[in-house]
Structure 1
């Protein structure tokens, strides 16, 4: 039985329900990451005893499931996009924006599918964008490919943000600090392709990098759909 299938216990002097518990857990995670979330800390935030919470959640993993489903509600678009490409593009960008608001989301993406109402709605929205255009196996592989890119790109971006905070150096400050070391290595001539990338490559920001990679993936899906239709 999942956490969504179990009925909530009756209220007691300190009002509790899963909505309040999840809101407190999300706030703690936004402040300090998933490591800041525990049944004890959530109970303290709500002014209740930890044992009270076990009437609503059985494990910390169930709490994570509820938190993930809560944020997946932010990913769902307000209105259906026009075509499959716009639908997948919108979901990818909304997932990235949700992860930038809730960095801990990056740690939960890519695991088992969410079984909460919002998670299932996101999955339905993703699959329905392509359903009917080709066979279901091709749909699943296309969706999986876009999802794998989205998850990987988001995790890398969040990892960069965390590294920046940990070092206290911005991206450009870090590059300047390590510039002499890189310059010495490139001067050896052992890394010609890397040297060209450093000296001639365009420095795109995170959003442009994400958007460009996503469009390349969507181009590949479009080509596959065209071959499947033919």
Structure 2
């Protein structure tokens, strides 16, 4: 693979007797990653899922495990949408909300978005569409990309937190928010009794502390967009 990037090469057409294709491998890998709390998969497990005796048979189609990760991530980038012709703010808001929906479906995507370059066709199309809606603002190149990455940083940071929490819950056998609260309750009670953190304890014992929910993804996204609007006003 040239430069370690899967985008430089197309796999040879499969032989008539070979049940594999790049598309089938990527779809199976995504299904496996969705099933795993951590989103981590191995090529051996993937080969077993596909009914292939050796993982080496997969490399003919994806080049390497990094190549597979690039292909998986780009499939999810294809789920991001950008509102067109409505102005920069609706464009970036739609990028953020569709990205958040994508990472909730595929939490592992957030980790790949941080660890692999967004150079696939779907990723480039999403960036290109967002940048197109920023063009009328006549901003410097760094600022235009900064606007896009502010929104995507919120998407991927929130997605990574979701992935880590899912992994933690699976490891601890926690299946609900109620189980999580119950597991932490004895320690929180000890903290409150100690009197060492009075302001935190006051918050933790306030029955209305989550009413309304203070930090939804959408609320923080709007705060970020408000901040970008303030920058434009200056």
* TM-score when normalising by structure 1: 0.85
Shift of 1:76: 2.9
Alpha-carbon contact 1:28-1:37 (below 8 Å) kept: no
1:137 paired residue number: 142
2:171 paired residue number: 166
1:209 paired residue number: 216
- Root-mean-square deviation (CA, aligned residues, Å) is 2.5
1:7 aligned residue (7, 10, 23): 10
What is the aligned length?
225
2:90 paired residue number: 86
Alpha-carbon contact 2:127-2:148 (below 8 Å) kept: no
User: Are residue 66 (structure 1) and residue 75 (structure 2) matched?
Assistant: no
2:188 paired residue number: 182
User: Are residue 44 (structure 1) and residue 48 (structure 2) matched?
Assistant: yes
2:161 paired residue number: 156
Q: Structure 2 regions of 5+ residues with no counterpart? A: none
1:220 aligned residue (223, 227, 230): 227
Alpha-carbon contact 2:191-2:201 (below 8 Å) kept: no
Shift of 1:214: 1.3
Shift of 1:63: 0.5
Alignment partners' CA distance in 1, 2:212 and 2:46: 36
User: 1 or 2 for the larger relative contact order (CA 8 Å, sep ≥6)?
Assistant: 2
User: Are residue 194 (structure 1) and residue 200 (structure 2) matched?
Assistant: yes
Alignment partners' CA distance in 2, 1:70 and 1:207: 32
Q: Equivalent residue of 2:61, what SS?
A: coil
Shift of 1:141: 2.1
2:110 aligned residue (81, 106, 111): 106
Alpha-carbon contact 1:75-1:95 (below 8 Å) kept: yes
* TM-score when normalising by structure 2: 0.83
